Amino acid sequence: MEETNVVITSQDIHDSIRQKLSQRSNPSLGSTTSIHRVHKRIRKLNEDAYTPDTVSIGPYHRSTQSLLAMEDHKLQYLQALLDRTRERTSLEEYVEALMELEVEARGCYSEPINLTTKEFIEMMLFDGFFIIELFRKNSNFVPVDDYDPIFYSSSRRARIVRDLVLLENQIPISVLQRLFDLSKDPNHDSLPLIKMALFFFHDLIPQAMHKCPQNTKSIRDNHLLDLLSYTLDSSLSTIKMQGLSTGLESLQSVTELRRSSVNLIDIKFNEGVFEIPQLCVNDYTDSFFRNLIAHEQYRIGGTHYITSYAMLMDYLINSTDDVAYLRDRGIIINQIGDDIKVLSLFSNLCSEISINATDFYYSDLCEKVHEYYNRRSNKWKATLNRDYCNSPWKIISVVVAIVLLFLTVSGTVFTALRFFNVHA
């Protein structure tokens, strides 16, 4: 059989490349992408921390069998909203508004979304109004049914809160804002969407509404997790950051700093006094922090505030004694049981996570701590505390030794004092 030689020209290759470029499913990737799949290297350390267990939001987990039960609840919320707003806005108007946002919304996801326009718009509508109605019910702008399974059960509500801040479980906030504006009741919706969202997540960030800038129109968040990240960033950004050479490797643990007369009490350090904001550690702290950190890994621009905080706490907490000290001072509220669980939480939060030295937010603070800790007088205090004052019997023996030494040399001391007085 005679072989046929096919000649490939440069034009053929050129045309093939052009075709592939024109078929890119997400040409905006890298500029508007904000909702990512957590990298498998990070996810493998704690799979559950990034996976919803009650409700699916967005496309990544919508086919998970265990989450389908909440789909009917979404339809109930939608039906109640349509009944309440039908005189102001029709279902067709909601759909048309979302169709205008489809291209932008698809571009927010880091991978192609294999849904038809019909499927994608329905998902945005069901998920968007489910979230908005949750916020309204939580703010008492919409009455809660007596047998609403979310508000009737505090544990289920806590799981919903936890699921809504997972990086993979998001829809664009532009979708939420458009649906909120179209469905807004001027007589009842007295808070903007952003404020209602922060009030809903109060258990995760106490006083979040007061930490967020009052002018919410200036906020340009990509999704709910990004909003919470921004809120936490704002509360930390009052601390001046400098790109100094001293980093975490120079920082001592809580126990070591206490021995050097450093008082651990937003995180600041000034002349031996540490100021650390109170942190309530509960069953959802690990998942919340992991998703905030994962979000910072993908976020373009901005400072790694949460990653820096987690790394700093990891260096400060090296033992259960460190946890106990912070707990006794009211810095950590431990709601997960043994102190060893808190120690394990901070020891593992930043596994497989790395940031550049210039991105570490507390460089200036570490420099101040390092300088204070290495002052000669503070080293003497540390040695005294460590070697002689770590038990009542040692303290007594030190006091007795000092008294005996004083009695032995008192004559010489007094003579010396008289000498200097005479010749002053």
Q: Cα separations (Å) of 112 from 26, 108, 400?
A: 7, 10, 77
pTM of the model: 0.78
**Sequential DSSP letters for 211-259:** HS-S-GGG---SSHHHHHHHHHHHHHTTS-----S--GGGPPPHHHHHH
Q: Which alpha helices (H) appear in 168-222, and where do they start and end?
A: 173-183, 193-200, 208-211
Q: b vs e for 359-375, b when ≥16 Cβ sit within 10 Å of the residue's Cβ? A: bbbbbbbbbbbbebbee
Q: Contact 168/50 with Cβ under 8 angstroms?
A: yes
How far, in Å, CA of 123 to CA of 47, rounded?
25
Residues in the chain: 424
Strands 268-270 and 273-275: antiparallel
pLDDT of the chain, 424 residues: tens digit per residue = 455 667 788 887 888 888 888 766 554 445 578 899 999 999 999 999 999 999 999 999 999 999 999 999 999 999 999 999 999 999 999 999 999 999 999 999 999 999 999 999 999 999 999 999 999 999 999 999 888 889 988 889 999 999 999 999 999 999 999 999 999 988 877 889 999 999 999 888 877 676 665 554 444 579 999 999 888 876 555 443 333 334 555 566 777 666 655 554 455 666 666 667 778 898 999 999 999 999 998 887 667 888 888 888 888 888 999 899 888 888 888 999 889 999 999 999 988 887 777 778 877 777 777 777 676 455 555 554 555 445 444 444 444 443 444 444 444 343 344 333 334 4
How far, in Å, CA of 243 to CA of 362, rounded?
9
- Kindly state the helix (H) or strand (E) to which residue 332 belongs, with its residue range: strand 332-334
Write the CB contacts of 346 (distance below 8 Å, at least 6 apart in sequence). 310, 313, 314, 317
